Structure 1
Amino acid sequence: MTVTAGGEPQSGARRGPRAHLAHVLGLLDRPLTSYYLVIGCTLLLLALGLTMVLSASSVNQLKSTGSAFTLLQKQATWVAIGLPLMAVTAMLPPRFFRVAAYPILLLSVLALALVLVPGLGQNVNGATRWLSFGGGIQLQPSEPAKLGLVLWGADLLARKDKLRMLNDWRQLLIPLLPGSGLLVLLVMLGNDLGTTLIVFTIFLALLWVIGAPARLFVGMTGLVVLLTAILIVVEPYRMNRLTGFLDPTGDPLGAGYQSNQGLYMLGSGGLFGTGLGEGRAKWEYLPHGDTDFIFAVLGEELGLVGTLIVLGLFGLLAYAGLRVARRVRDPFMRLAATGVTAWVVVQAIVNIGAVINVLPITGIPLPLVSYGGSALIPTLIGLGVLLSFAKREPGARQALAARGPGPAARALSWLGLGRSR
């Protein structure tokens, strides 16, 4: 070790804990931190999701189709479609998203209306969420509707902010409240409580970012709670879920069965889990283990360590999204970044909360991890929007220019689609 004449270590020598902490904080303050965090967390969650989809579905798929890899192959196909879409989306300018918001929202509303037409909508577990196109191809219109609401609401409020119209509380709500209310109504008519909560979350996140008065924000939150309570009371199966949540041991083979099984799986995993593929949940003990309750399968096979890794990845994703929202200067980007972050992170919280029995079961998937292309692809596009904004943080353009074009940019340039600088 190199020392000075007085015996003190020089700057290049071993660092103490404070120096290490300062070094880590310095890394977090770099221009492209948000960009790399979003990419890294997304890829790790996708890889983990593919692994757990295979593990959770292998027994049922082997029994029903003769191959343990059926759902894995489908999910890998959705990932192979979604990742390039995310990469292309990350290269688009914010003005594209502002223009695209309106057709995305309009098409989503039309598709949600079609779901309610008898013979077109598919009912699964009490909720009419799906449009079937034959050949096993299905679409859940409420998923792209989340993206449409984020972009449309952000553009609407950004335009009003530019015109200095947001001093009046009515301008905060009109037409944002009727537009969000229409989406909520269509989703509610399909008996999809989980998606209804996420749409409400996006609406409240937009109000919070734009600086809605506390009384208005509290009033809207109270309205959300009231409508949620109504949704639960009017549907017997939701009341059964609520009863099972409040008293999981009261009906262990009925309303409380899925919740109890999820907790058993988490508890049996211990610290490091039973090992990949060694869990018992897949042997038809846990319903929907590859979708709504995939976190329980993960906890059983990867243990507490695995669940904490997933929580950490979503925590980093939340940090990255809010960092983008804080650092960008454009109101539209700030609003949309917060909306996308609230959508993905709150959905993860609701899903995990249901598995660990601190929230009632709502039937929504764990983003990027659960099986399903209808949820996965809009989520990846939303994260691509976040990446596009992250590249517009202060100093990010210069850092990217110094790094050189990435593979996606080179491919688009080779095809003659690259954007000239």
Structure 2
Amino acid sequence: MAATETGPVRTPGSGRAALSRFLRRPLASYYLILGSAGLLLLLGLVMVFSSTTYMSTTQFGHPAYYFTRQLVWVLVALPIAWLITRMPIRVLRAMALLLVIVAIGLLALTYIPGLGVVRGGSRNWLDFGGPFLLQPSEAAKLALIVWVAHVFANKGALVRQWRQLLIPVAPVSLIIIGLTIGQGDMGTSVVMVLILLSMLWVLGVPTWLFGLAVGGVSVLGVYFIFSTGYRTQRVLGFLDPFADYANTGYQAANSIFAFANGGWWGTGLGASTQKWGTLPERHTDFIFAILGEELGLPGSLMVIVLFLAFGYAGLRIAMRTKDTFVRLAAAGITGWFMVQTVINLGMVLAVFPVVGVPLPLVSYGGASIVATVAAVGVLLALAKQEPGAKEALAAQRERRLRRREAAA
């Protein structure tokens, strides 16, 4: 950085050098996760308010009803994530079996009449009589990741034997995914399967076994798609949303209209026309369409860049550790966020079929927010295991303590 009478002048390559210095810091991954997730969460609150003002006013008489509920869930989730970041990894691992048992139990409860609630064609909600509904499948993703990472870490070198790879991970995973498929929630089931495949890839399973798993999943996926008429229509409808505009193509077509209306620079925050009732699920699965309409290409690219930064940091954590649990858990959570983001963006852009998958940290939904924010907390805890991270955090605490003593 050179200086002149008018101020500092940025020399060529200084930005790249600053980025390089930042990435060499032990806490780079920690701050990338914290910064990107925090900005996505904040942007999500803004877009939930913007996309639901009309709906909130017409249904409940004031424009901030859905925003207030989302804010409450964020305020519930943040202390949970903070506690997780302070939790030793051994405690998290000790809870792994309990988490997966509770997840299976909650998924099973959705099949009990009176408790299980159908929303959007899927019986994946629990109603315990309060103002909020619980969606167990969201928490089940995190529970499955932590438990699978724990099991494989305990097996050590035994994972080189294909039988040890399957038992008990395969049957327990099939129970969780099977219960989710039985609810009619194909989107979440697909995400769970892809999470498991990403963890197996990072674990380094034999190529033949990984190929067999991918092939088996593909065959089952094709069967489930074409075994039910409405699923077939829904999946194939994305090929030409306007061919059946009034039925299977309605959501995808109106999502395209939203982006077309926004153009390059967007209509401005709060100025969406699709949020007035034309676009279904505009605050949940299709919130990115409203964001693209109002904030245009700059806003859309900002979201993509934030998710890419999150994904890079998560993979960086997985690559820089020698601890099998940390590597697999970081890869699983990163895979969850990135897979779900790609599916959601592809769905909103009519590149993929409409499968009902929310955009992590951005879409409206209490269960989704709590689960994803808690997952961010786990990833932050894992980031502290990077080489030099604990020492850097201790040095930060020492500096803060000295400043407080000096101020006193």
* TM-score normalised by structure 1 residue count: 0.91
User: What's the secondary structure of 1:351's corresponding residue?
Assistant: helix
Distance 1:361 1:2 in 2: 53
Q: CA deviation at 1:19?
A: 4.2
Q: CA deviation at 1:319?
A: 0.4
Q: 2:370 aligns with which of 369, 377, 392?
A: 377
User: What's the secondary structure of 2:153's corresponding residue?
Assistant: helix
Deviation per residue, 1:238-291 (Å, 9 max, x gap): 222113112212111111110010011012112221001101011111000000
Q: CA deviation at 1:355?
A: 0.2
Does residue 81 in structure 1 map to residue 76 in structure 2?
yes
Q: Which residue of 2 aligns with 1:41?
A: 36
Q: What amino acid maps onto 1:101 in structure 2?
A: A
Q: Which residue of 1 aligns with 2:358?
A: 365
Q: Which residue of 2 aligns with 1:108?
A: 103
User: What's the secondary structure of 2:285's corresponding residue?
Assistant: coil
User: What's the secondary structure of 1:376's corresponding residue?
Assistant: helix
Q: 1:294 aligns with which of 282, 287, 292?
A: 287
Distance 2:253 2:335 in 1: 28
Does residue 32 in structure 1 map to residue 16 in structure 2?
no
Q: What amino acid maps onto 1:393 in structure 2?
A: E
Distance 1:240 1:375 in 2: 27
Q: CA deviation at 1:135?
A: 2.7
Q: What amino acid maps onto 2:229 in structure 1?
A: P
Q: What amino acid maps onto 1:277 in structure 2?
A: G
User: Contact 2:50–2:269 at 8 Å: present in 1 too?
Assistant: yes
Q: 2:195 aligns with which of 198, 202, 211?
A: 202
Does residue 392 in structure 1 map to residue 366 in structure 2?
no
Distance 2:197 2:147 in 1: 14
Q: What amino acid maps onto 1:132 in structure 2?
A: D
User: Contact 2:2–2:10 at 8 Å: present in 1 too?
Assistant: no
Distance 1:406 1:93 in 2: 23
Distance 1:24 1:17 in 2: 13
* Residues 406/226 of structure 1: CA separation in 2 closer, same or farther (3 Å cut): farther
Distance 2:286 2:186 in 1: 17
Q: Which residue of 1 aligns with 2:160?
A: 167
Q: CA deviation at 1:36?
A: 0.6
Q: CA deviation at 1:190?
A: 0.4
More helix by share: 2
Q: Which residue of 2 aligns with 1:326?
A: 319
* Residues 318/405 of structure 1: CA separation in 2 closer, same or farther (3 Å cut): farther
Consecutive unaligned residues in structure 2, runs of 5 or more: 401-408
What pairs with 1:170-249 in structure 2 (closer than 5 Å)? 170-249=163-242
Q: Which residue of 1 aligns with 2:259?
A: 266
Distance 2:151 2:168 in 1: 8
* Residues 313/405 of structure 1: CA separation in 2 closer, same or farther (3 Å cut): farther
Q: What amino acid maps onto 2:44 in structure 1?
A: G
User: What's the secondary structure of 1:290's corresponding residue?
Assistant: coil
Q: What amino acid maps onto 1:99 in structure 2?
A: A
User: Contact 1:86–1:383 at 8 Å: present in 2 too?
Assistant: yes
User: What's the secondary structure of 1:362's corresponding residue?
Assistant: coil
Distance 1:406 1:45 in 2: 29
Distance 2:292 2:164 in 1: 46
Q: What amino acid maps onto 2:129 in structure 1?
A: G
* Residues 15/66 of structure 1: CA separation in 2 closer, same or farther (3 Å cut): closer
Q: Which runs of 4+ in 1 moved over 6 A?
A: none
Q: Which residue of 2 aligns with 1:122?
A: 117
Q: CA deviation at 1:2?
A: 8.1
Give aligned-pair identity as a percent.
44
Q: CA deviation at 1:82?
A: 0.7
Deviates more, 1:131-140 or 1:305-314: 131-140
RMSD: 1.8
Q: CA deviation at 1:235?
A: 2.8
Q: CA deviation at 1:89?
A: 0.6
Q: CA deviation at 1:354?
A: 0.2
Deviates more, 1:68-77 or 1:328-337: 328-337
Q: What amino acid maps onto 1:310 in structure 2?
A: V
User: What's the secondary structure of 1:123's corresponding residue?
Assistant: strand
Distance 2:310 2:14 in 1: 26
Q: CA deviation at 1:93?
A: 0.8
User: Contact 1:328–1:389 at 8 Å: present in 2 too?
Assistant: no
Deviation per residue, 1:344-390 (Å, 9 max, x gap): 11111111110001111110111100101101111111111110111
User: What's the secondary structure of 1:130's corresponding residue?
Assistant: strand
Q: Which residue of 1 aligns with 2:67?
A: 72
Q: CA deviation at 1:14?
A: 5.4
User: What's the secondary structure of 2:190's corresponding residue?
Assistant: helix
Distance 2:354 2:216 in 1: 21
Distance 2:10 2:367 in 1: 49
Consecutive unaligned residues in structure 1, runs of 5 or more: 4-8, 408-421
Q: Which residue of 2 aligns with 1:417?
A: none
Q: Which residue of 2 aligns with 1:339?
A: 332
Q: CA deviation at 1:128?
A: 0.6
* Residues 326/406 of structure 1: CA separation in 2 closer, same or farther (3 Å cut): farther
Distance 1:263 1:29 in 2: 41
